[in-house]
Amino acid sequence: MTAQRTYIAIWLALLVLTGITWGVSYLDLGLGNAAAALAIASLKAALVALYFMHLRNEGRLVWAFALFPLGFLALIIFGTLSDTLFR
Amino acid sequence: MTDHATDTSPADRGYLTDKGFRSWALTLDHKRIGVLYLFTTLFFFLVGGVIALLMRLELLTPGPSLMNDHTYNVLFTLHGAIMIFLFIIPGIPSGLGNFFIPLLIGARDVAFPRLNLLSYWVFIGGIVVILASLVSPMDTGWTFYTPYSAKTGAAVATLSFGIFLVGMSSILTGLNFIVTTHRLRAPGLTWMRLPLFIWGMYATSIIQVLATPVVGITFLLLAAERLFGVGFFDPAKGGDPLLFQHFFWFYSHPVVYVMILPAMGIISEVIPVFSRKAIFGYRAIAYSSLAIAFIGFLVWGHHMFVSGMSPVAGVIFSFLTFFVAVPTGVKVFNWIATLYRGSITFESPMLYALTFIFLFIIGGLTGPFLGALATNVHLHDTYFVVAHFHYTMMGGTVMGLFAGLHYWFPKMTGRMLNETVAKLAWAVTFVGFNATFFVMFIMGYHGMPRRYAEYLPKYHADNVFATAGSWILAVGVAIMFANFVWGMLRGEKAGANPWRGLTLEWQTPSPPPTENFEEIPTVTDWPYGYGKKVVCR
Ligand code: HEM
Ligand SMILES: [Cu+2]
């Protein structure tokens, strides 16, 4: 029961965050627009992973395997930026 | 001894007992799935090989002879794409890996047998899509560089979708192996007692899981650009053509280690068995696999030095590239130290393993010439690069695969190969390989560009030499395959442990029963304690 209530709460939170993303797109924040959209999207992804994908209840090994790819994402972004920033 | 029994009782045929299409197509047995992969990938090795022979024939003379330039472009694209995506990436991991990982860790199957079967059929699905793309064959090279690949009339979207599927299959296999290694090791089989082939495959699987999604998504972006005109890579639409290369090599450099690490694992199994000596520096070899997997992710930009990438990035990538050589050197050193004062015998698996070391050193030592920024500018896109990657991929990985096939043939089929024929095939292959590819270092150094159907007359002699070599090579490989077929049908009965190995796969009959082991073995020592009893470290 409580588990279901959590899921519904998370689902509502995701909907609200989607709404905020949509709202923010109407403001003119310059670079801030992209930053806000990415921040909200990351938050949503984190909620999904933690609750819907049960990462919250997993052991350290699973956490390690889940966080590892984020490191690689950072790597590819920084590697590519090291090129585009200095071109 | 020599009753090459034609009347094999069902009991001796182990996992091969069941017959018929369904028993293979729907099998959940990792060994059968491994065999399916081996047959499929080796078939494409032959297809890719035939295409290569055609290309070499065209290059026999400086001018156009056999085919027009467009056909040549199609052929080198097909040769590269087939060899890379349908043979060398899936070959050892999905073929020998599927067959031997559970046997080597004392398990009854992989962790997810159904997923395993699914990944085989996804692989076949990918192949079907790739074949469908032949209606208007690709001419972009296996690297699909934009902007050309976004504009050519060929079926780029179809082919890249096929490779996307093949990649999915590769991810599923890698995932399966990681979980299998973590969860299904026999009692007592600690991480520090794992056979080194398992370490190699574990590192490989991590790369497959982390890198393959990147190329999958890149190909989807390319398809979106072609089909819907979205501007990811086209500067006119706000895209960046170099972005494609960054994404492509972020996958494709690490993936050269998907090609080479499993082969290195095989070498680490074969060398101790045929020198009757404990492997030297077990831990160093095990950890260097992980180190190679990790550093492999940092150096992709060394493929892009002359692409117009920023000089700053070029310097960084060149610097980082040299670090890959360290763990690779550790491995080579340890193999040679294992050989030192061993009781070496030269059965066919050992001949191929030593060939691996010899050719891989040549391939590896020519890497720094390409990795150093200054020399790369001279050597980029010349035959020097072609020689370099054929020495590492064919001289390395393929020789490692051949070593593994000869080493494990008795286990897989229950029969022995003809050693004399195997040695003959090895000798011819060795001569043919070096005749074909060594001159390419020289041609490349003298400036002959790669990917051209024609060349200046001054390269004629070199090319004649290489083409002649390619035919010697083909004869060697043909003898080897004939020996495989003969061995499967007529070879002498092998017995459980013909090489007197200490790893677990030799503790069960050949061919193994469907359940692998009558009783799951308990491991009390590491698998390299030849001669004296070695205290596990
Ligand atoms: C371990 C096995 C290896 C394999 C299977 C391999 C494979 C390849 C392949 C397929 C290419 C051709 C890419 C193209 O079409 O442009 C290539 C190029 C290259 N390789 Fe390797 N390689 C290996 C090891 C190394 C090492 C150890 C180094 C450096 C220390 C290295 C440095 C390079 C560089 C810099 C290029 C780019 C050359 C150019 O485009 O000018 N490789 N390699
Ligand atoms: Cu590379």
Query: In this predicted model, what pLDDT tens digit does every residue of A27-59 receive, in sequence order?
Result: 888 888 889 999 999 999 999 999 999 999 999
Q: What is the ipTM of this complex?
A: 0.84
Taking residues B212-219, report their average pLDDT: 93
- Rounded Cα distance, B495 and B501, in Å: 12
CB B326 within 8 A of CB B400: no
Q: Mind listing the pLDDT tens digit for each residue in B322-339?
A: 998 899 999 999 999 999
Does position B208 have pLDDT exceeding 50, yes or no?
Answer: yes
- Same structural domain for residues A49 and A14? yes
**Measured in angstroms, how far is the CA atom of residue B206 from the centroid of ligand 1?**
20
Q: Mind listing the pLDDT tens digit for each residue in B409-464?
A: 999 999 999 999 999 999 999 999 999 999 999 999 999 999 999 999 999 999 99
* Helices B399-413/B460-490 angle, 10° precision: 10
| CA B520 to chain centroid | 31
- Rounded Cα distance, B326 and B334, in Å: 12
- Rounded Cα distance, B231 and B225, in Å: 6
CB B343 within 8 A of CB B277: yes
Q: Ligand 1 atom closest to Cα of B370?
A: 35
Closest Cα partner for B491 from B374, B381, B348? B348
- Which distant-in-sequence residues (6+ apart) come within 8 Å of B375 by Cβ? B369
**List of domains in chain B:** 25-506 (1.20.210.10)
Does position B78 have pLDDT exceeding 80, yes or no?
Answer: yes
B310 vs A contacts (CB less than 8 Å):
82-87
Say whether B297 sits in a helix, a strand or coil. Answer: helix
Taking residues B206-231, report their average pLDDT: 92
- Same structural domain for residues A49 and A64? no
* Helices B241-275/B311-339 angle, 10° precision: 10
Give CA angle at B231 (B228, B235), nearest 5°.
145
Q: Where do we find the tokens 């984020």?
A: A70
Lowest mean pLDDT across B39-53, B221-235, B406-420, B519-533:
B519-533
- Same structural domain for residues A38 and A52? yes
Does position B531 have pLDDT exceeding 70, yes or no?
Answer: no
- Rounded Cα distance, A56 and A3, in Å: 13
Closest Cα partner for B204 from B212, B192, B195? B212
Contact B316 A85 (CB under 8 A): no
For a mutational test of ligand 1's pocket, the pick from B298, B303, B316, i.e. the residue with the most ligand atoms closer than 8 A to its C-beta, is B303
- Rounded Cα distance, B263 and B197, in Å: 8
Does position B71 have pLDDT exceeding 80, yes or no?
Answer: yes
- Same structural domain for residues A6 and A39? yes
- Same structural domain for residues A6 and A33? yes
Does B259 sit in the ligand 1 pocket, CB within 6 Å? yes
Does position B9 have pLDDT exceeding 60, yes or no?
Answer: no
Say whether B202 sits in a helix, a strand or coil. Answer: helix
Does B83 sit in the ligand 1 pocket, CB within 6 Å? no
- Rounded Cα distance, B240 and B219, in Å: 15
CB B72 within 8 A of CB B55: yes
Does position B535 have pLDDT exceeding 70, yes or no?
Answer: no
Contact A75 B316 (CB under 8 A): no
- Same structural domain for residues A80 and A63? yes
Instruction: Report chain B residues touching chain A, CB-CB < 8 A.
Output: 182, 210, 214, 240, 242-243, 246-247, 250, 297-298, 300-301, 304, 308-313, 316
For a mutational test of ligand 1's pocket, the pick from B392, B437, B440, B450, i.e. the residue with the most ligand atoms closer than 8 A to its C-beta, is B392
Does B507 sit in the ligand 1 pocket, CB within 6 Å? no
Taking residues B149-167, report their average pLDDT: 91
Q: Residue B534 — very low, low, confident or very high, per pLDDT cuts 50/70/90? A: very low
**Measured in angstroms, how far is the CA atom of residue B380 from the centroid of ligand 1?**
11
- Which distant-in-sequence residues (6+ apart) come within 8 Å of A24 by Cβ? A33, A36, A37, A40
- Rounded Cα distance, B460 and B92, in Å: 36
Min Cα separation B186/chain A (Å): 20
Does position B282 have pLDDT exceeding 70, yes or no?
Answer: yes
Please report the pLDDT score of residue A50 as a whole number.
94
- In a 10 Å sphere around its CB, with 0-12 CB exposed, 13-18 middle and 19+ buried, how is residue B284 labelled? middle
- Which distant-in-sequence residues (6+ apart) come within 8 Å of B343 by Cβ? B275, B276, B277
Q: Ligand 1 atom closest to Cα of B382?
A: 41
CA dihedral B76, B81, B83, B88 (to 10 degrees): 150
The chain-wide mean pLDDT, for chain A, equals: 91
- Rounded Cα distance, B224 and B117, in Å: 30
Say whether B451 sits in a helix, a strand or coil. Answer: coil
- Same structural domain for residues A47 and A25? yes
- Same structural domain for residues A33 and A74? no
**Interchain CB contact of A87 with B (< 8 Å):** yes
Please report the pLDDT score of residue A1 as a whole number.
57
Please report the pLDDT score of residue B526 as a whole number.
87
- Which distant-in-sequence residues (6+ apart) come within 8 Å of B32 by Cβ? B15, B24
- Same structural domain for residues A16 and A45? yes
- Which distant-in-sequence residues (6+ apart) come within 8 Å of B380 by Cβ? B305, B306, B370
- Same structural domain for residues A63 and A51? no
- Which distant-in-sequence residues (6+ apart) come within 8 Å of B378 by Cβ? none
B182 vs A contacts (CB less than 8 Å):
61
Bin B64: left if φ > 0, else alpha if -120 < ψ < 50, else beta. Answer: beta
The chain-wide mean pLDDT, for chain B, equals: 93
Residue to test with chain B: of A80, A81, A85, most B Cβ within 10 A: A80
Rg of chain B over CA atoms, in angstroms? 23
- Rounded Cα distance, B15 and B524, in Å: 27
Q: Is the peptide bond before B511 cis (omega within 30 degrees of 0)?
A: yes
Q: Residue B375 — very low, low, confident or very high, per pLDDT cuts 50/70/90? A: very high
Say whether B240 sits in a helix, a strand or coil. Answer: coil
- Rounded Cα distance, A50 and B50, in Å: 52
Min Cα separation A19/chain B (Å): 26
Does position B536 have pLDDT exceeding 80, yes or no?
Answer: no
Phi then psi dihedrals of residue B187, to 5 deg: -55, 135
- Same structural domain for residues A74 and A51? no
- Paired tokens of B394: 């064919």
**Measured in angstroms, how far is the CA atom of residue B405 from the centroid of ligand 1?**
26
The percent of residues in chain B predicted with pLDDT above 70, rounded, is 97
- Paired tokens of B297: 């992710």
Is residue B208 within a helix (H) or strand (E), and if so which, with residue range? helix B196-228
Alpha helices in B446-531 (DSSP H): 460-490
- Rounded Cα distance, B349 and B266, in Å: 10
**Measured in angstroms, how far is the CA atom of residue B351 from the centroid of ligand 2?**
28
Q: Ligand 1 atom closest to Cα of B396?
A: 2
Q: Residue B247 — very low, low, confident or very high, per pLDDT cuts 50/70/90? A: very high
Please report the pLDDT score of residue B10 as a whole number.
52
Length of chain B: 537
- In a 10 Å sphere around its CB, with 0-12 CB exposed, 13-18 middle and 19+ buried, how is residue B10 labelled? exposed
Please report the pLDDT score of residue A69 as a whole number.
87
Residue B121: CA count within 13 A, CB half-sphere? 10
**Measured in angstroms, how far is the CA atom of residue B232 from the centroid of ligand 2?**
23
**Residue from the list A72, A76, A86 with its beta carbon closest to the beta carbon of B310:** A86
Please report the pLDDT score of residue B532 as a whole number.
56
Amino acid at B330: V
CB B459 within 8 A of CB B375: no
- Same structural domain for residues A52 and A71? no
Bin A18: left if φ > 0, else alpha if -120 < ψ < 50, else beta. Answer: alpha
The percent of residues in chain B predicted with pLDDT above 90, rounded, is 88
- Which distant-in-sequence residues (6+ apart) come within 8 Å of B99 by Cβ? B30, B31, B34, B35, B38, B408, B412
Rg of chain A over CA atoms, in angstroms? 17
**Measured in angstroms, how far is the CA atom of residue B381 from the centroid of ligand 2?**
13
Question: Which has the higher per-residue pLDDT, B533 or B100?
Answer: B100
Does position B489 have pLDDT exceeding 90, yes or no?
Answer: yes
Please report the pLDDT score of residue B7 as a whole number.
45
B250 vs A contacts (CB less than 8 Å):
76, 79
> Dihedral sign, CA of B36, B37, B39, B43?
positive
Q: Where do we find the tokens 């990657």?
A: B389
- Rounded Cα distance, B403 and B202, in Å: 20
Q: Residue B250 — very low, low, confident or very high, per pLDDT cuts 50/70/90? A: very high
Q: Residue B152 — very low, low, confident or very high, per pLDDT cuts 50/70/90? A: confident
Full domain range(s) for residue A79: 59-86
Q: Around Cβ B57, how many Cβ atoms within 10 Å?
A: 15
Taking residues B24-40, report their average pLDDT: 96
Q: For chain A, what is the domain count?
A: 2
Does position A14 have pLDDT exceeding 80, yes or no?
Answer: yes
Does B324 sit in the ligand 1 pocket, CB within 6 Å? yes
Cα B219 to Cα A79, B144, B157, B159, B303, distances in angstroms: 20, 9, 8, 9, 18
